[in-house]
Amino acid sequence: MFDLDGVLIDSEQVWDEVRRDYVAARGGRWDEAATLTMMGMSAPEWSAHLRDALGVPGDPAEISADVAEGVLARYRAHLPLLPGAVAAVERLAARWPLGLASSSNRSVIDTVLAVSGLGRHFAVTVSSEEVARGKPAPDVYLAAVAGLGAEAARCTAVEDSANGLRSAAAAGLRVVAVPNPHFPPAPDALALADAVVAGLDDLTPALVAGRPPSPGG
């Protein structure tokens, strides 16, 4: 199970910048806690936060759609795939069926997977706007596991953020952390990971299976 933002694409700061600009353009008031507060929230949750806590006028569904379109405009100009993302997905897809459990809007997930060409490797994709609660609640991972017809204990999640790590662990998945350098996960969240890697090049089938690397790699 892959997360999207911060794992396959270097996007957390894109979302942050688009939301900041959106709040400023509509007379809201950004606070520095907002970035970490909203990380992992579903689209209905963070759009309601922009309205209720940051003073952005409008309906949350409209706010969500506007911000998502701002993010997509950035992606159409340049899709910020992280180093090793394509190879990591291809390596693991050759061994297991893959799922994707993301806090991004459905429109963003579908566009990223189409533009990157990675969509064909995923048997199931779930947006947290399609479940009751966003991360750190386990809902999005539980939905992805169910979509694969799998057992949570036999699945591994690849996550970068504190709320993502908490979500996957709460769902009962084994967790591999690829810490986000822009927004490092809190120590207590990182401690939930079964393995920590510096980058996607280290995400091997042996590591995901819980085995040490063989001699010589």
Confidence (pTM): 0.88
Q: Is the pLDDT of residue 82 over 70?
A: yes
What digits encode the pLDDT tens for the residues 31-71?
989 988 898 888 999 999 999 999 999 999 999 999 999 99
What digits encode the pLDDT tens for the residues 106-159?
999 999 999 999 999 999 999 999 999 999 999 999 999 999 999 999 999 999
CB 167 within 8 A of CB 140: yes
pLDDT recorded at residue 216: 47
φ and ψ of 100, to 5 deg = -130, 130
Output the average pLDDT for the chain.
94
CB 136 within 8 A of CB 170: yes
Q: Phi/psi zone of residue 181: left (φ > 0), alpha (ψ -120 to 50 degrees), beta?
A: alpha
Write out the DSSP string of 169-210.
HHTT-EEEE---SSSPPPHHHHTT-SEE-SSGGG--HHHHTT
Distances (CA, A) of 200 to 31, 86, 170, 204: 32, 9, 23, 8
CB 85 within 8 A of CB 8: yes
Domains in the chain, CATH or no CATH each: 12-77 (1.10.150), 85-208 (3.40.50.1000)
> Active-site residues: which are they?
3, 5
Q: Is the pLDDT of residue 213 over 70?
A: no
